[in-house]
Each structure stands twice: as structure tokens, then as C-alpha cells.
Chains A and B, each alone.
Chain A
């Protein structure tokens, strides 16, 4: 099937299959994010100390609760592939939509790179424990290549696999917690009174820790990416997203509790695989193996979901000609956006090859943060252009406008947190989005059909 024939075809011919239920939505959201408990969150310990990280975990939990509330309302109403990208197209306008699409692509592609990097690093660490020396690069390539192939073959199989490996990774955290805390007759090994220290940087460190505090939850909004493939969006998306948030809040707190009681904060703040290290410190080989498998599974599930989400965002943008329409093709047999999947593979691989986990994570975090900033004004406009009752909403979030105000304030605080210590990365990603926005306005927008950007069966927006 060629791009030209796709663009000219009816929407059904170029549509994705509706096969997913709430459990798949949960698996897609948690599957992407659960790796955040296995690695990356601990850089918040490096920025603000162990207590700083815990405070950041809860504050950012509030940010994501706002995100989940807002996103559930808009996504259950705009149930189409592309998630927030499609929302921006209908509510704000093409350039914002182009940027939101890119936030999604970059956040997920960088997260995928970080996942692959962790798989390679973990295998290298374990090999090192047994005296072998291995190169991480083949494992990075292999991880991304296998997952890209799975995604190429079909979304249902991909997300079913995700559900199984996500469940294992979550259970591994519970097993570690119960074992380390001494439940079920085991000797407790946690040493909080000996490991925890004062705030090493004071309260400014707590603020700085908000940056990596996002890693506990980053990607939960990915539940929206499969909106077009969900059987009952009004029920499945809020249920899957909120269930995912609860799962993550529990997992994040347990993870912090175990790791902070086992490692000096200076080590924890720089570890690549903190949960695996916690498993090693228990002195229990079976637990170490469970945490090894858990880390690999969490990284693989996350990378798997990321390929799914990034490629769908890229596919949606290409289908609308925001990007070259060649990428907007659906595989004639598997009905997947196969060209988009393949295009993003080398970007993920090359960033994973840098080995700079904190920097790659920062790019992912910043793209996510820009997307959350967009959500705070998107919901205000959504309610203004189509007041309650004017269109059929799958779900209406309570307490509006408190969540969006809180979200805006927390986003501003997190930009400042990133400026503290990662200011250059913040400016370089802003340079990317500014340059590519100028490119869109001056070059790409000419290929976009104006009227086709609004496809929802809604009345004319108020004020237009």
C-alpha cells in the first residue's frame, strides 16, 4: 500500500483495529512507566538526597494525578489514534498539534533508548560479576530490533506480551519489599536509621529533585495513544489510567522505601539499576535473579510500549501530512504503522549508544513536561470551546479548574528543577522544538489540508 493511496482512501481503510480493553490500557500505561521504578527515579536522590526524592515522588504524583484526570476527560472524548496530538489538533491548532506529536515521539523514543541502555548495562554488570567482559551495544540493538519486530507484527500480541511481563515486574517489586522488610518470617535487612541522612542540598535540592521525580510516572499518559484501538474508550481509558496511577504510586513508594534502606544516598543517586542492586544487597541469590529478570522485563515492557506509542504518534502526524506522508502507511497484512516503527529505530539506538542515561532520560522528561504544560491550557480551552453538555464526553473530571492550575504551577516548578543542574539540556531541547516549529510553519504546513484537521462530529467551537 502506498502513501498516496492511503491518503486518498476512506478512513476505515486506513484505520487501526479495535481490540483493546481496560487491562491492555493499564498494561500500556504501567508497562511503559514501571521501568521508572527500576531505574532513573534514583537520580532524584542524587539531586536532593533520599528524603528529597521521596518528597519529589509525592509532589510529582500530584502532577500526574492532574494529568490523568485531565487526559481521561479529553481522551475519552477525542478517541482517536495519536492521543494528545489529535486533541491539540481539534482544540488548539496545527502548530501546537505538530509540537505535541513531537513531544510524544521524542519522550517515548528517548525512553525507549534509556530502556535499551539499561538492558545492555545490566547484562554487562552481571557478566562482570562472573568475570566476563561484554559490550553493551549488541544487547541494545537486539532489544530494540526484537521489540520493533513485535510491534511490526501487531498491536494485540504486543500489548498482551506487555501485560504478562509488566505483571511479573510489578510482582518482583512486591517480593523484594516483603522479603527486605521481613514479612513472612524473613530477617528484616533494611537499615533506614543508618542510611538516611539530612537533606544534602537543603530545600533547593528537594525542588531540584522534581526533575527526576517525574521518572516515577513518566509515560502514564501513553494510555491515550491506543484510544482508536480501544473497544469502549469512555470506560476503558479512565479505568486503565487511574488504575495505572494507583499501581505506580504504590510501586514508587515501595521502591524508595527498600532502596533508601539499603544504599548510601550517594551510591543510590548514581546507580544505573538500583532495584537490581537492592536485590544483590539482600544476599539472597533467588531474589537477585528475580530482580534481574524484573529489571529486564520492566525495561523490555517499557521499550515495547514506547515503540507502540511513538510510532502511532508519528503515524498520525504523517497521515495528516505534518510529516512526510510516506510514513502514514498501514501494513497491508498486520494493520500496523510499520514504516513509522522502522524510522524511529535508529534514533533510539543511537541515543542508547551514548551511554548517558541521565541525559537521555532528561530529554524524555522534558518532552513529557512540555506535553503536560500543553495539557494545562488545553483543558481550559476545551471546556471553553465546548462547554459541558454541548458534546458527548466519555468522562468529566471533577474540581475543574483546580487540576489544571495545579498542573501549570507544578510544570513551572519542574522547569526550574531542570534548570538546576541540567540547564544546558533544557536549552538544547527548547532549541530543537523552536527550530522544528519554524520549519513546520515555513515548509511543512503547505502540505496540510486545512479542513481535514477537524474530524470529530462536534458543533462549531464557541467563539469561532
Chain B
């Protein structure tokens, strides 16, 4: 026996407006908010006591210094650019969480899609043999 095609409800204009707002809220809450509330890098505490920085102490060769100067970047501006480095230490817990989140996400999406896909095929082509 063939099932009747699914007839979706008609969404009102207000409902569509509300759904558009939900998308915007999700975009801004999950992507924009972490950027805006990200901690600014701390300035060094005892900047006054620090010995004067030289290009040599920053491991810059004369050729490099020449290019920095041509680019209009003085040693004060160059120092944080040279000394701020990425920390590539791997924390097992955070790495495990990240892997779980990515794998779990694809698992959820693929599993739910499979269920939905069967509905689509059944409606488009009719019930499969044995249904």
C-alpha cells in the first residue's frame, strides 16, 4: 500500500521572520561573541625595567633590518611581531574533546540524513520491494 506524500504546513510570514532571526542569533552568538569577548594579550608588567631591545637580540640580520625599515616598522613595533609565538603544545584532553565534537557531529548528521533520505526516496520512487 503506498503512503500519502507528506504535506508540510504553510509557514506564516511571522514564522519565517522568526526563523531568520534565529539564524542570525546563532551566527552572532556562536561566531561573533567569542571574537568580541576574546581576551586581549597582556602587556608585559615591568616594561620599564626591561633592557633595551636591539635588532641583534631579536635575531635579525642587517638585510632583514633593512627590509623592516623600508616597510616603515621600527624596532618597537617589530618586537611583538617577532617575539609573539604560537604555542603548539598538545593538551590531550582538549584534543580529545575536539576530535569527539567533529566525529560526533558528522555521525549525527550522517545518521539523521540517512533516515530522512529513506523518506525522500520512498516518496519520490514509491515503496521499495519488501516494504
Contacts and interface: CB of A to CB of B under 8 A. Distances in A.
Contact of B88 (A205, A325, A446): A205
A201 B88 contact: yes
Contact of A47 (B31, B82, B86): B86
Contacts of A432: 26-27, 30-31
Contacts of A444: 19
B52 interface: no
A450 B67 contact: no
B106 A93 contact: no
A119 interface: no
A431 B113 contact: no
A453 B109 contact: no
Contacts of A431: 30
A59 to B, nearest CB: 18
Contacts of A446: 8-9
Contacts of B15: 324
A194 B86 contact: no
A427 B101 contact: yes
Interface in A236-267: 262-264, 266-267
B20 interface: yes
Contacts of A325: 11, 16
A423 B80 CA distance: 22
Given A281-B71, A373-B106, A451 B124 contact: yes
Contacts, number: 190
Contacts of A435: 26, 30
Chain A: interface size category: 35 or more
Contact of B117 (A93, A99, A262): A93
A183 interface: no
B109 A449 contact: no
Nearest to B115: A93
Given A191-B63, A421-B86, A267 B78 contact: yes
A351 B8 CA distance: 35
A460 B16 CA distance: 33
A2 to B, nearest CB: 10
A160 interface: no
Nearest to A346: B24
Interface in A51-92: 92
B113 A415 contact: no
B99 to A, nearest CB: 8
A424 interface: yes
A152 to B, nearest CB: 19
B44 interface: no
A323 B105 contact: no
Contacts of A262: 67
A270 B79 CA distance: 13
Contacts of A323: 19-20, 23
A215 interface: no
B105 A433 contact: yes
Interface string B19-44: 11011101110111011101000000
Interface in A411-464: 415, 419-421, 423-437, 439, 441, 443-451, 453-454, 460-461, 464
A449 B6 contact: yes
A129 B73 CA distance: 12
B113 A267 contact: no
Given A191-B67, A195-B63, A431-B30, 14 more contacts: A93-B113, A96-B110, A208-B86, A281-B67, A281-B71, A324-B16, A347-B24, A350-B32, A419-B94, A427-B101, A430-B105, A444-B19, A454-B120, A464-B118
Interface of A: 3-4, 46-47, 92-97, 99, 129, 191, 194-195, 200-201, 204-205, 208, 262-264, 266-267, 270, 277, 280-281, 283, 321, 323-327, 343, 347, 350-351, 354, 356, 359, 363, 373, 377, 415, 419-421, 423-437, 439, 441, 443-451, 453-454, 460-461, 464
Q: Which 6 A-B pairs have the closest CB atoms?
A: A93-B113, A93-B117, A324-B16, A451-B123, A194-B63, A432-B30
Interface of B: 5-11, 13, 15-17, 19-20, 22-24, 26-28, 30-32, 34-36, 38, 60-61, 63-64, 67-68, 70-73, 78, 81-82, 85-88, 90, 94-95, 97-98, 101-102, 105-106, 108-110, 112-125, 128
16 contacts: A92-B110, A267-B71, A267-B73, A280-B71, A281-B71, A324-B19, A343-B20, A354-B36, A419-B98, A423-B98, A427-B101, A430-B102, A433-B105, A434-B108, A439-B22, A454-B121
